[in-house]
Chain A
Amino acid sequence: MLRDITIGQYYPADSIVHKLDPRVKLMAALIYIISLFTFRGVAGFILASLFLVFMIRLSKVPFSYMVKGLKAIVILMVITAAFNLFLTPGDQVLVHFWIFTITMEGVKNAAFMLVRLIYLIVGTSIMTLTTTPNQLTDGLEKSLMPLSKIKVPVHAIAMMMSIALRFIPILIEETDIIMKAQMARGADFENGNLIRRAKSMVPLLVPLFVSAFRRADDLAMAMEARCYVGGSGRTKMKPLRYKKRDYLAYLILIVYLAGIILLRVFL
């Protein structure tokens, strides 16, 4: 049920992708997203697909694990595909019924959009699956450090993110338990109209919030007890230092992006 959500989860394995500097992986994810919305035509699609397959193989994360992440956005995918399918104007009309017209362009657009969405989720989940939340926030923190000069609390934001990621699975499990406990008291979360269903969420949400606040309180105390005072004066257990493989990865990324752009311009 709720346990199946894999977005934002870490999958431990011993691969080169796991070992890469998180800044490289953040940049890679960004570049890959850009490339997904840049490519046009089949050649670009093939290149983006090859790159993705290459990354999946390198990461040693089972493919099925990534696909699981897609389940969460099935509805979004269906809606996006439907919009493209029905609302793209074009000359080559394939089917026409009532107010709907499906054109060849529509089919193409929908297909590409679907591919883009799937690749986007799988691509970014490679990043999250191979990077511990702490590394990820470390990477973000260091990449965004220049912003702290203009008084953006980069460290605090990074810390909040990593704590949020740590507690997501715990809160999901807690939701599951509270839901069952209220069902044991006769609560009904499945039936009824919209208003009734919204109302039925109260017995779930109130305890969940209470628990989240209690946990936050406890955690703040535990952090204080371990001498946490914010970003200043901290050292790092795993400081980020670029290694040879990281530079190599950047090089591959640049070549890939250049390839996508060239394909778009010249094909």
Chain B
Amino acid sequence: MSIILDKVNYVYSTGSAYEIQALKNINLQIEDGQFIGIIGHTGSGKSTLIQHMNGLMKATSGGIYFNGRDIYEEDYDKKELRTRVGLVFQYPEHQLFETTIFDDVCFGPMNQGLSKDEAGLRAFEALKMVGMPESLYYQSPFELSGGQKRRVAIAGVLAMKPEVLILDEPTAGLDPKGRDEILDLIADMHKKKKMTVILVSHSMEDVAKYVQRIIVMNSGEIIYDGTPGEVFRHYRELETIGLAAPQVTYLMHELKEFGLDADTDATTIEEAKKSILKMFR
């Protein structure tokens, strides 16, 4: 059970002067239950990549397999694929449209063909999962704060019970506390619901703190794929493409250069702290 991308290419505006190859020969396997971070600067192809995973965009060439089946097969149910691979877009609160929060979250399950009761049950569960207080369920989504709106929007996708959850920059525009709350929520879902989670971000600190595997994209290609420690070992190369490792990685590398026994694979504050305290023991 997994998503496999096999030699996927995607070209924008084929044949015109503006032709851009947004994805170049992408080979990727996403195992069940992984928590993955995709990083890359704007225009590196990461948004294009995730839209391929749930079939919203169709590869110019190459194949995509979900749970062993080719999603480009004639009779493959694309609509079902989209509910099993849930995609939360950037600034998802901009898609809210119903008069109440509850109805808005019901939208997805209703589209799946569930009955009103079942959809309501799903909505209830999803809203609870994102920590929305029950007193707000029947308010207009437009009256919530930015962080709350975003939770509702995420609940809207969760209510479809996807097996894979992809989030495009879920923390954009949130303040530090709001950011931590959303990320903790996502990490919690990954842990408790055993969901596969793919987090698209340009914050190295966030990615390093939460994910098990990092995929780095640059001009349509995957250039690194590995654990945070492995990927951030290339911090010098990452810099040349406009990315950077977390600050602690730099610190650990520099301490090592000064002759200290620092763990250069440390990418989070916790890891760095452990390694530094060890030095002084």
Direct contact, A vs B (beta carbon within 8 Å): yes
**6 pairs of A and B residues whose beta carbons are closest in the complex:** A186-B111, A206-B97, A185-B108, A184-B87, A181-B89, A181-B95
B89 to A186, Cβ gap below 8 A?
A: no
Chain B residues contacting A206 (CB-CB under 8 Å) are 97
B111: contacting residue among A177, A185, A210, CB under 8 A: A185
CA distance A148 to B67 in the complex (A): 67
A183 to B160, Cβ gap below 8 A?
A: no
B94 to A211, Cβ gap below 8 A?
A: yes
Count, A-B residue pairs, CB within 8 A: 58
Q: B142 near A: Cβ within 8 Å?
A: yes
Complex A-B: 16 CB contacts under 8 Å: A64-B16, A178-B94, A180-B51, A181-B87, A181-B92, A182-B95, A184-B88, A185-B108, A185-B157, A186-B79, A186-B108, A187-B107, A188-B79, A207-B96, A207-B97, A210-B94
A186 to B83, Cβ gap below 8 A?
A: yes
Q: A89 near B: Cβ within 8 Å?
A: no
Q: A203 near B: Cβ within 8 Å?
A: yes
CA distance A203 to B104 in the complex (A): 10
Chain A 201-220 per-residue mask, 1 if CB under 8 angstroms from chain B, else 0: 01100110011000000000
Max chain B C-beta neighbours (<10 A), residue from A185, A202, A203, A206: A185
A203 to B160, Cβ gap below 8 A?
A: no
Chain A residues contacting B56 (CB-CB under 8 Å) are 180, 183-184
CA distance A178 to B95 in the complex (A): 6
The residues of A with any CB-CB pair to B shorter than 8 Å are: 62, 64, 177-178, 180-188, 202-203, 206-207, 210-211
CA distance A183 to B17 in the complex (A): 30
CA distance A207 to B92 in the complex (A): 11
Q: B82 near A: Cβ within 8 Å?
A: yes
CA distance A183 to B78 in the complex (A): 10
CB distance from A211 to the nearest CB of B (A): 6
A184 to B96, Cβ gap below 8 A?
A: no
- Tell me the nearest residue of chain B to A186, going by C-beta: B111
A184 to B86, Cβ gap below 8 A?
A: yes
CA distance A184 to B108 in the complex (A): 8
Chain A residues contacting B29 (CB-CB under 8 Å) are none
Chain B residues contacting A186 (CB-CB under 8 Å) are 79, 82-83, 107-108, 111-112, 160
Chain A interface, DSSP helix/strand/loop, else mixed: helix
CB distance from B223 to the nearest CB of A (A): 26
- Tell me the nearest residue of chain A to B88, going by C-beta: A184
CB distance from A187 to the nearest CB of B (A): 6
A180 to B107, Cβ gap below 8 A?
A: no
Max chain B C-beta neighbours (<10 A), residue from A181, A184, A202, A211: A184
Max chain A C-beta neighbours (<10 A), residue from B17, B83, B89: B89
B54 to A184, Cβ gap below 8 A?
A: yes
- Tell me the nearest residue of chain B to A182, going by C-beta: B95
CB distance from A204 to the nearest CB of B (A): 8
CB distance from A150 to the nearest CB of B (A): 41
A184 to B97, Cβ gap below 8 A?
A: no
CA distance A211 to B96 in the complex (A): 11
Q: B40 near A: Cβ within 8 Å?
A: no
Q: A177-B89, A180-B89 are in contact. Are A187 and B111 (CB under 8 A)?
A: yes
A183 to B82, Cβ gap below 8 A?
A: yes
Chain B 135-168 per-residue mask, 1 if CB under 8 angstroms from chain A, else 0: 0000000100000000000001100100000000
Q: Among residues 43 to 95 in chain B, which have CB atoms less than 8 Å away from a CB atom of chain A?
A: 51, 54, 56, 79, 82-83, 86-89, 92, 94-95
A203 to B82, Cβ gap below 8 A?
A: no
CA distance A123 to B94 in the complex (A): 38
CA distance A185 to B54 in the complex (A): 11
- Tell me the nearest residue of chain A to B112, going by C-beta: A186
B107 to A185, Cβ gap below 8 A?
A: yes
- Tell me the nearest residue of chain B to A64, going by C-beta: B16
CB distance from A66 to the nearest CB of B (A): 14
